[in-house]
Amino acid sequence: MTSRDTTIAAIATPPGIGGLGLIRVSGPAAEGIARRLFRPLPPADFLSHHLYHGEIVSPETGAVLDEVLIAFLKGPRSYTGEDTLEINCHGGPLILRTVLEEVLRAGARPAERGEFTKRAFLNDRLDLAQAEAVLDIITAQTRPGLAAAVGRLQGKLSGQVEAIRSEIIDLLAGIEADIDFSGEDSVEKKTGDALPRIQEIIDRIAALAATYRQGRIYREGIGVVIAGRPNVGKSSLLNRLLGEKRAIVTSIPGTTRDFIEETVDLGGIPVRLTDTAGLRPPENAIEREGIDLVWERLETADAVLVLLDGSADLTADDRELLAKMTAKPLLPVLNKSDLPPRLNEESLKRLLPEETPPAVRISAKYGDGIDRLTAALRDLVLATPAEESSEAMIAHLHHKTALEKAAAGLVRARDGLQGGLPPELVALEVREALDALGEITGRTTPEEVLDRIFANFCIGK
């Protein structure tokens, strides 16, 4: 008996108290479980995709467990492609557990993480890229991230990958024809015709792989550290960006001893903002510990907002921080624009790497310049503006790795053709590229990789 011969069940709504809760059942015993637990039974079979109002009753005691709405979805017209039962209960944790226990006693087993979506994949309801998009939709933190995930679920990424695979298959067919007719004079001409086609496919793969940075940022977000000397306005800026008072703000230097981290939507990007202790020579062991934590956070940050006091000259602490930040994408931010400007921006530029964007003037106290700061941060971390983004973006590292493997195989095939490599060996390289692309949609993905992917899902999805 394979795993798909069993019937699985799980609570599909989040833990907690709510108006409704959903129990999902999928597998060959779904209708039988409905007949065993639901009353009143319809006179004939359950009609597919119809709602039935009634009660869940314990077969052993006859006790009514809950008033429910149920729907029976006949496979393959269901999420998993199998017979599916959905039980809409009241949304209390106890009643959901009680009904689920009766479902399990009636012939189902507890579902594993992501098992419903894995069955949808195995039953060809979704390919692997679409299945992963389901989780991306659930975990999306911003509207652009959600839109990108919905696009992948609709098959935009899969469509591009399959179009490239189709071109590679045509290319492979031509090379294998050369093997069959290797004695004919036209082989050299055919080989010459294949070279520009290979390069065109390599370029298409490279263009798709280049979307990874933006796709990953929309899916995972970025870590941004707000760094600067004490009392320059870091906590005020954090509070301003969050739209609430999260960090304590005082005129006493060194108020922030530990770091404070919060996630906020800045221009469509999920940004994990970290407010840190002010950087200066520590006055005690507690402050030293806080400053050590700052440098640790700066090491792992995706970008740094270096906050400077625009109403004062650069200090030695400012210069030391800027000197240590040359390896990180950084955005200089000049705070206190509500006061007369004093910081010399030309002197500041000489301390920064050439590619550093212009400083942004803000007032964290009054909110002036925050929109400009958000736009500048977005430009700093995104290689491509949102309005110029590719219709399909990859968002997972294994997508990027698969594309790189495919491109590498085609490069070896191209170089082999140019160097007179036998067509049989060229064909092997092209097949490797084909298999690598298949890992994105699940055509050639190893079982252990599939298990690892679906283990990231919640139970019930």
Which pLDDT value is given to residue 77? 94
Which pLDDT value is given to residue 452? 82
Using CA atoms, how far apart are residues 225 and 262, in angstroms rounded to an integer?
A: 11
Pair 290, 323 in one domain: yes
Using CA atoms, how far apart are residues 270 and 198, in angstroms rounded to an integer?
A: 38
Cβ atoms of 161 and 437 within 8 Å: the answer is yes
Please provide residue 176's backbone torsions phi and psi, each rounded to the nearest 5 degrees. Answer: -70, -30
Pair 135, 248 in one domain: no
pLDDT at 459 over 60: yes
Pair 327, 441 in one domain: no
Q: Which domain holds residue 402?
A: 130-211+393-454
pLDDT at 329 over 60: yes
Pair 73, 199 in one domain: no
Pair 380, 427 in one domain: no
Using CA atoms, how far apart are residues 419 and 422, in angstroms rounded to an integer?
A: 9
Pair 242, 173 in one domain: no
CATH of residue 193's domain is 1.20.120.430
Whole-number Cα distances in Å, 328 to 232, 299, 319, 408, 413: 21, 8, 15, 30, 38
Residue 125 falls within a domain, yes or no? Answer: no
Cβ atoms of 55 and 88 within 8 Å: the answer is no
Name the residue with higher pLDDT: 251 or 402. 402
Which pLDDT value is given to residue 183? 52
Q: Is the dihedral of CA 318, 319, 324, 330 positive or negative?
A: positive
Using CA atoms, how far apart are residues 4 and 75, in angstroms rounded to an integer?
A: 13
Which pLDDT value is given to residue 290? 58
- Counting DSSP H helices and E strands in the chain, the numbers are 16, 13
Using CA atoms, how far apart are residues 137 and 326, in angstroms rounded to an integer?
A: 36
CATH of residue 235's domain is 3.40.50.300
| Rg of the chain over all Cα atoms, to the nearest angstrom | 29
Which pLDDT value is given to residue 102? 96
Q: Which residue has the tokens 């301390």?
A: 351
Residue 58 falls within a domain, yes or no? Answer: yes
Q: Which residue has the tokens 């053709």?
A: 417
Share above pLDDT 70 across residues of the chain, in percent, rounded to a whole number: 86
DSSP line for 250-288? -SSTT---S-EEEEEEETTEEEEEEE----S--SSHHHH
pLDDT at 247 over 60: no
Q: pLDDT-derived band of residue 189, with 50, 70 and 90 as boundaries?
A: low
Residue 200 falls within a domain, yes or no? Answer: yes
Cβ atoms of 205 and 164 within 8 Å: the answer is yes
Pair 370, 419 in one domain: no
Pair 258, 362 in one domain: yes
Share above pLDDT 90 across residues of the chain, in percent, rounded to a whole number: 48
The CB-side HSE value for 184 (13 A sphere, CA atoms) comes to 10
* Model confidence pLDDT, tens digit, residues 342-392: 888 888 888 888 888 999 999 988 889 999 998 898 888 875 454 445 568
Using CA atoms, how far apart are residues 230 and 253, in angstroms rounded to an integer?
A: 5
Domain boundary among 371, 387, 403: 387
Residue 225 falls within a domain, yes or no? Answer: yes
Minimal CA–CA distance to 236: which of 291, 273, 289? 273
| Mean pLDDT score across all residues of the chain | 85
Which pLDDT value is given to residue 187? 47
Pair 246, 329 in one domain: yes
| The Cα angle at residue 213 between residues 212 and 219, in degrees rounded to 5 | 85
Helix (H/G/I), strand (E/B), else coil: 125: coil
CATH of residue 30's domain is 3.30.1360.120
Pair 420, 370 in one domain: no
Which pLDDT value is given to residue 172? 87
Q: Omega of the bond prior to 76 within 30 degrees of 0, cis?
A: yes
Minimal CA–CA distance to 303: which of 384, 381, 240? 381
Cβ atoms of 329 and 380 within 8 Å: the answer is yes
Helix (H/G/I), strand (E/B), else coil: 331: strand
Q: What is the mean pLDDT of residues 233-237?
A: 85
Q: pLDDT-derived band of residue 323, with 50, 70 and 90 as boundaries?
A: confident
Residue 123 falls within a domain, yes or no? Answer: no
Q: pLDDT-derived band of residue 257, with 50, 70 and 90 as boundaries?
A: very low
Q: What is the mean pLDDT of residues 35-51?
A: 92
Q: What is the mean pLDDT of residues 110-138?
A: 93
Domain boundary among 369, 387, 405: 387
Pair 103, 251 in one domain: no
Which pLDDT value is given to residue 460? 80
Helix (H/G/I), strand (E/B), else coil: 312: coil
Using CA atoms, how far apart are residues 173 and 177, in angstroms rounded to an integer?
A: 6
Which pLDDT value is given to residue 291? 63
Which pLDDT value is given to residue 23? 97
* Model confidence pLDDT, tens digit, residues 308-317: 998 998 888 8
Output the six-digit token pair for 67.
């008033």
Least confident piece of the model among 106-110, 299-303, 356-360:
299-303
pLDDT at 324 over 80: no
Which pLDDT value is given to residue 289? 57
Cβ atoms of 5 and 81 within 8 Å: the answer is no
Residue 117 falls within a domain, yes or no? Answer: no
pLDDT at 255 over 60: no
Confidence (pTM): 0.79
Using CA atoms, how far apart are residues 254 and 231, in angstroms rounded to an integer?
A: 7
pLDDT at 250 over 50: no
Number of domains in the chain: 3
Pair 193, 144 in one domain: yes
Residue 49 falls within a domain, yes or no? Answer: yes
Q: Which residue has the tokens 């959903």?
A: 22
Largest CA distance in the chain: 86
Residue 116 falls within a domain, yes or no? Answer: no
